[in-house]
Amino acid sequence: MRRRILIAGLLAAMVMNAALPASATAANDREDTAKALIAKLVDDDKATAAILRVDGDAGGWAYGAGVGDLVSRDPVAPGGHFRIGSVTKLFVATVLMQLVDEKRLSLADPIERHLPGVVPRGAKITVRQILNHTSGLYDYMHEPGYSTNRWRGKDRFRHYEPQELLKVAFADPAESTEPGGPWSYSNTNYVVAGLLIEKLTGRPYGQEIKRRILRPYGLTQTIVPGDKPGLPAPHARGYEALPGGDLVDATRMNPSLDWAAGEMLSTGRDLNRFLAALAGGRILSGSSLAAMRTLETTDAGFGYGLGLQEYALPCGTKAWGHSGELIGYLTFAFTSDRGRRMTLSLNPSRKRFTTSEIFAIATAVLC
């Protein structure tokens, strides 16, 4: 799980350690700069494939580098699908904030009120604390074999019920801390959030995401897969480097181990559409959007609101959205206060990319 937090904090570290590339200071150079930086990740064997989608008031563009399959060597499709990992949390939080707007719950409500007997100390843990990771609940993905960021062999096709994940999280009460303490990222929170949606609506959380967000806002390329192990075509295959250095194909897996904490699939086009609708005030009331952007200080260098991360960029603007990791796939989906949106999907290779390399791409696009 520590690896996931480090990935989520890449942009924050890069804000402090990288300078704005000179070639990105002019708007007409941003695209060329970003493309060159992405291509270099592939050339340096840090990614088998990388795709970037950028949208703004002046239009949009997409770019892909690398291959979608190491066997066929076919070029990656810039509009392809990928696993979005924890970007799923932004969708889940948005649905819950819609329910807040509908006055079906309050952020101050204790979890016990809506999910009696499900969460230990649920009378002390509020909905807000679940969404902003101050609940103190232990992250089940810390347990061996329960992280989708690690190669799990045949076990990657196993189905998990959300109640199983909570059983793992709550097995040792001493692992959880008092609610309302320091921020601590925990996927357990968003398993609870998914169950909360289901209890309040009487429908699976994925159906609510489809009904409330995907269909109304034209996100036709976004999927809540359930037990489906594959991705729609086109997509780049995701690989994981084993200790000996060999790459194993990790594309197919049952993502129910992540469930509402990170199972979804999407494209750069759809994630940018979602960010535009959310930031533009078309999905939530002004008060709910403001609540989402009310930040907790984190030890990862970014502010965390209700299901979103916020970063201060060196050009004086802010970017907010979410990052995600699921074995074979890394995603960064952000919108700036200036209205420019970017989604970057990477398929890691044998070598590790640096924080400054990723930050340089974000800076070129959003500044």
77, exposed or middle or buried, with CB in 10 Å at 0-12, 13-18, 19+?
Answer: middle
Closest C-alpha to 325, from 83, 67, 42 = 83
* Amino acid at residue number 53: R
Closest C-alpha to 85, from 317, 296, 329, 254 = 329
DSSP per-residue codes, 143-210: STT--TTS--GGGGG----HHHHHHHHTSSGGGS--TTSS----THHHHHHHHHHHHHHSS-HHHHHI
Residue showing tokens 């499900």: 118
Of the residues 23, 72, 86, 288, only one is catalytic, namely: 86
Q: Which long-range contacts (CB under 8 A, 24 or more apart) does 285-289 make?
A: 285/101, 288/97, 288/98, 288/100, 288/101, 289/97
**CA separation for the pair 133, 152 (Å, rounded):** 27
Helix, strand, coil percent values for the chain (each to nearest 5): 40, 20, 45
Whether 86 is a known active-site residue: answer: yes
User: Which helix or strand (DSSP H or E) is residue 241 part of?
Assistant: strand 239-241
Any residues with CB less than 8 A from the CB of 2 and at least 6 apart, and which? none
Active site residues: 86
